[in-house]
């Protein structure tokens, strides 16, 4: 595509849609369930010498079973708690075809046609948020280009950098 902005959002939306209607999305690359992190998405693009275009590698990490440990920066959720029938093979079977379809659609149309659907699943929409760069405001969903919209005391700010992490000021409700 001419613009890769929003690909991680499109991937997250495809995975959430394929797995369960109660899964929410956290900009730019997490899936949440009941205020806890269920999955994360990493997207990397690269060019290859003497080859036109760019290639993309999409990594999706889903907690299938309860993670062991207690030192999590965000409390974890796991798929078998959401639906005991969703083991790893079943989750992969549900996600694979919709994910390929979503990536192909993104290649043709970009993120804009998906913004409204993303906003319907946005875990932080309307909440007070704090960004790692110190910005605070109210999360207002995403723009058609995939930018996070935050209403700050200085006005509306659109965040496009994946280098900024977003946290709720208060934990989101279930």
Number of domains forming the structure of the chain: 1
**pLDDT tens across 32-45, in order?**
999 999 999 999 98
Please indicate, yes or no, if residue 89 is contained in any of the structural domains.
Answer: yes
Please indicate, yes or no, if residue 142 is contained in any of the structural domains.
Answer: yes
CATH number at residue 33: 3.30.930.10
Q: What percentage of the chain reaches a pLDDT higher than 90?
A: 72
Strand order in the sheet with 136-142: 155-159, 148-152, 136-142, 128-131, 166-168
pTM: 0.90
Please indicate, yes or no, if residue 174 is contained in any of the structural domains.
Answer: no
Please indicate, yes or no, if residue 1 is contained in any of the structural domains.
Answer: no
Please indicate, yes or no, if residue 173 is contained in any of the structural domains.
Answer: no
State the greatest distance between any 2 C-alpha atoms of the chain, in Å, as a whole number: 50
Domain coverage including residue 59: 7-168
């Amino acid at each position: 595509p001419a613009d890769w902005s929003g690909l991680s959002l499109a991937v997250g939306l495809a995975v959430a849609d394929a797995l369960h209607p109660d899964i929410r999305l956290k900009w730019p690359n997490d899936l949440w369930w009941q205020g806890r992190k269920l999955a994360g998405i990493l997207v990397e693009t690269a060019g290859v010498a003497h080859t036109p275009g760019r290639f993309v590698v999409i990594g999706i990490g889903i907690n299938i079973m309860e993670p062991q440990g207690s030192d999590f920066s965000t409390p974890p959720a796991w798929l078998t708690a959401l639906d005991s029938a969703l083991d790893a093979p079943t989750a992969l079977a549900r996600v694979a075809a919709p994910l390929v379809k979503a990536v192909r659609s993104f290649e043709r149309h970009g993120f804009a046609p998906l913004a409204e659907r993303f906003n319907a699943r946005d875990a932080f929409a309307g909440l007070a948020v704090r960004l790692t760069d110190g910005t605070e405001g109210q999360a207002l969903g995403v723009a058609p280009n995939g930018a996070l919209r935050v209403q700050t005391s200085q006005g509306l700010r659109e965040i496009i950098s994946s280098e900024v992490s977003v946290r709720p000021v208060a934990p989101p409700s279930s």
